[in-house]
Chains A and B, each alone.
Chain A
Amino acid sequence: MAITYDAVKDLTARLYEWSLKRIPDDTKLALDTAMSTETNESARQVLKMMRRSADLAENTDRFVCSDSGVPVYFIKIGSGARFEGDIKRAIRDGFAHLVETIDPPLLKHVTNPLSQERGYAGKDMPIVSWDVIDGADYIDITCAPKALGSGRWADLEIFSFPSLEEIETYILEVIVGSAAQQCPPVVIGVGIGGTFDHCAKLAKMATLRPMGSTNPEPVLADMEGRLLKAVNKMGFGPMGTGGDTTALAVHIDYASGHGFTPVAVCFNCWINRRTRARLYNDGRVERIE
């Protein structure tokens, strides 16, 4: 028994499609909660439209947003997983097949940064990050397509031995600097430490954490709760037109590093696209999100 080219091709494509048509359950719940706490009447109307939009997309098998982004996958390979066929090619072929078959069709968003030409394929597409899970007999695949609306506001700065206050100040400045253009209420991911590349990945991975989960590190659990309250005092509100609901969650992760400390901040827009499944050696698919 092994994980086949066909199974990976099919599952990565389906995860992409699901992510475009249905927002995660935790995100629906967070929007519902926001509707009950939001004090700005226009903001409540916008939140209400968000829920209607998400429900309608789910019920009619349509996209929540027309910007389907570019395909981004995070794959963890179990050390006991066995493969039959090319796995990287399967992911590439899966997206190409999705482009040909998905209903409704996708717009051309894959952009060559040197020529600005847009299409469905390009260098390094789909973007895949790899990791390993010791002992597992499956691969764990998360799909989180990324579009311009929220993607362009991410930021990273490198400090030397920063205090927690300096780190928190920087995070808030990034948020104010983006002036809530990322289709809030957003999920904010923060990475602290490691290296330049690892820190950015920590921030991205943090956005994928289920909402309501708490960081096991007490310093970060405290920071997440305080920063969420702080961001929601800024007043940007849903779609940045005023209100109490600018962020649905702040998720932070850290890594040890040297004395230089990168801090990375990135955003998911309110639809918070994220799907995840495990594919086992015996061909079984377990849908996680």
Chain B
Amino acid sequence: MAKSYRFELPVGEDDVRQLELGDLVTLDGEIVATGGLPTHQRIIENIEGKTELPFPLDGAAFFHLPSYNVDEPGGTRIVYLNPTTSTRFNPLMPRIIRHYGLRIVCGKGGLDAECTRAMQEVGCVYLSILGGGATLHTEAVSEVVDVGWTDLISHYRLVRMRVRGLGPLTVGIDAHGNNGYEILEAEARARLPAIMAELNATRRT
């Protein structure tokens, strides 16, 4: 039975280690969000000592959550935001997760086995956030704290923001090496022969 949690960010290792696949998590506090491949490449460059980060990512809740953000006299405003597909960043995420000891990665579509290993090592979970939830997610943003790499287009910028009641988000990969996406895919593949047998048995023509 799925449990529900509400966490104040930043979360500790114990907080995320207790989570199981399918649990529902609602978040308050500070997250870092971007939707850009160039952004991930710059983060890798930082790991390699070639570039500076606009702000630290250590222990962060890192979201694949691109936004339309506008710079206004009083600061930056998020007009809307919504997740992107995390698997696009599979090749880069293991290094990022390990180097900064991320506690949460959030997006849609999950991550691969190598990312799952990195998450198990450092104590990090993957949370699935609703795609097509722009209005709900935008309502949960309470404050933009900082915006980095403003030379990039809006959805590629690295945005540090505070959220209140973001979620519920579904635990898709836990901190113990269990990847819900891979489990579901394996189960679906295992069911295919039976599903095909039924398709063949019920074909009327």
Contacts and interface: CB of A to CB of B under 8 A. Distances in A.
Q: Do A and B bind each other?
A: yes
Interface string A146-182: 0011001000000000001100110011001001110
Given A53-B130, A62-B80, A241-B172, A235 B184 contact: yes
Nearest to A108: B153
Interface in A68-125: 104-105, 107-108, 118
Interface string B188-205: 110110011011101111
Interface in B151-205: 153-155, 168, 170, 172, 180-181, 184-185, 187-189, 191-192, 195-196, 198-200, 202-205
Contact of B66 (A66, A165, A241): A66
Given A53-B135, A53-B136, A60-B135, A239 B170 contact: yes
Contacts of B110: 179, 181, 240
B90 to A, nearest CB: 12
Interface residues of B, number: 52
A66 B153 contact: no
B120 interface: no
A50 interface: yes
B104 interface: no
Contacts of B80: 62-63, 66, 104
Interface string B45-83: 000000000000000000000111000000000011110
B11 interface: no
A125 to B, nearest CB: 17
Contacts of A271: 132
Nearest to B67: A66
A235 B2 contact: no
A237 B82 CA distance: 20
A226 B22 contact: no
Interface stretch (A38-46, A134-142, A196-204, A251-259): A38-46
Given A105-B79, A107-B68, A172-B196, A242 B205 contact: no
Nearest to A54: B132
A269 interface: yes
Contacts of B109: 181, 240
A42 B25 CA distance: 11
B46 to A, nearest CB: 21
Contact of B68 (A60, A105, A152): A105
A16 interface: no
A108 B108 CA distance: 20
B132 A270 contact: yes
B116 interface: no
A244 to B, nearest CB: 12
A270 B185 CA distance: 20
B118 interface: no
Contacts of B82: 63, 65-67
Nearest to A65: B132
Interface of B: 1-2, 21-22, 24, 66-68, 79-82, 84-85, 87, 108-110, 128, 130-136, 138-139, 153-155, 168, 170, 172, 180-181, 184-185, 187-189, 191-192, 195-196, 198-200, 202-205
Interface of A: 41-42, 45-46, 49-50, 52-54, 56-57, 60, 62-67, 104-105, 107-108, 118, 148-149, 152, 164-165, 168-169, 172-173, 176, 179-181, 183, 218-219, 222-223, 226-227, 230, 233-237, 239-242, 269-271
Given A45-B168, A60-B135, 19 more contacts: A42-B24, A46-B170, A50-B132, A63-B135, A64-B134, A65-B82, A66-B81, A104-B68, A108-B155, A149-B131, A176-B189, A179-B110, A179-B185, A179-B188, A183-B132, A227-B199, A235-B188, A240-B110, A269-B132
14 contacts: A42-B22, A56-B136, A66-B80, A66-B134, A67-B82, A107-B66, A165-B200, A179-B188, A230-B195, A230-B196, A234-B191, A239-B131, A242-B180, A270-B131
